[in-house]
Amino acid sequence: MKRIMLKVAYDGTNYHGWQIQSNGETIEGVLNRCLSELFQEKIEVIGASRTDSGVHARENIAVFDTVSQIPPKKVANALNARLPEDIRIQDSEEVSTDFHPRKCSSRKIYEYRIYNATFSMPTERLYSYFTYVPLDVERMQEAAAYFIGTHDFKSFCSVDTQAESTVRQVDGIEVRKDGNLITIRVSGRGFLYNMVRIMAGTLMEVGRGRLEPADIARILEAKDRSAAGPTAPACGLTLIKYEFL
């Protein structure tokens, strides 16, 4: 038996997230079905990041075990031939049989994209959140700096989390503007449930003037979800990179 790791990219628009659900198609479900067909054995993947419904990925990680003799490097191509075009394996390689993608130390990079203009732009609508409320990027940059470092992110975590600790380390965060597109890029060892989307929703509150940049420190201190801004919509979020350390 060998364990194979896949780098998986997907457009989350038409999926009910990563994790298998009874009520709709999921990334995990499609991978299990296509892998089981390809290998002619029952395959069940283990995902690194179980992204929410509508969230996209340029690089998420899945591992699975197989007894087949297909060379691991060839799995990407063979699997892509069976997958729908909104899911594409970027790489496949053998890993040690005890490798578990959620139990290894890793760094993730997420991007949250906001299209900020009077009217929405059709060719941006699927991979960004649109708001016509003018956002001040300099204020958002100033606010974002408060996230860097190790903090208790309880205020930036969905109340229905099952995490034992809500302390997390944000290694870097960058807010940049290119035309009408504002991109928040954040990297860290781990993120709580909805953490990036709540950070994005709160930075937008700063950008529109409802909160001050320094309020981020106060919100972190409050350790109360209701102190932070709303959870920004899923379509703006993309998992960019997943690095094992």
Query: Does 108 help bind its own copies (rule: CB under 8 A)?
Result: no
Exactly one of 23, 69, 96, 123 binds its own copies (CB under 8 A); that residue is 123
Exactly one of 58, 177, 185, 208 binds its own copies (CB under 8 A); that residue is 58
Contact of 163 with 157, CB cutoff 8 Å: yes
Query: Does 226 help bind its own copies (rule: CB under 8 A)?
Result: no
Query: Does 125 help bind its own copies (rule: CB under 8 A)?
Result: yes
In Å, how far are 43, 108, 132 from 84, measured between CA atoms?
18, 25, 34
Least Cβ distance, residue 84 to its own copies (angstroms) = 9
Contacts of residue 73, Cβ cutoff 8 Å, sequence gap at least 6 = 92, 93
The one segment of 33-41, 100-108, 125-133, 210-218 that binds its own copies by CB under 8 A: 125-133
What are the DSSP E strand ranges found in 158-211? 167-178, 181-188
Exactly one of 56, 151, 154, 168 binds its own copies (CB under 8 A); that residue is 56
Q: 206 phi and psi, to 5 degrees?
A: -70, -45
Query: Does 122 help bind its own copies (rule: CB under 8 A)?
Result: yes
d(CA 59, CA 145): 25
Instruction: Supply the residues annotated as catalytic.
Output: 52
d(CA 75, CA 167): 37
Q: Which residue carries 């390689």 as its tokens?
A: 93
**Parallel/antiparallel/unpaired status of strands 129-131 and 106-116:** parallel
Contact of 60 with 242, CB cutoff 8 Å: yes
d(CA 43, CA 61): 15
Contacts to its own copies from residues 191-210, by CB under 8 A: none
Binding mask 11-50 for its own copies (x = CB under 8 A): x---------------------------------------
Least Cβ distance, residue 234 to its own copies (angstroms) = 13
Query: Does 127 help bind its own copies (rule: CB under 8 A)?
Result: yes
Exactly one of 10, 64, 153, 242 binds its own copies (CB under 8 A); that residue is 10
Binding mask 78-97 for its own copies (x = CB under 8 A): --x----xxxxxx-------
d(CA 205, CA 43): 44
Rg over CA atoms, the chain: 19
Least Cβ distance, residue 121 to its own copies (angstroms) = 6
Contact footprint for its own copies (CB under 8 A) = 9-11, 56, 58, 76, 80, 85-90, 118-123, 125-127, 238
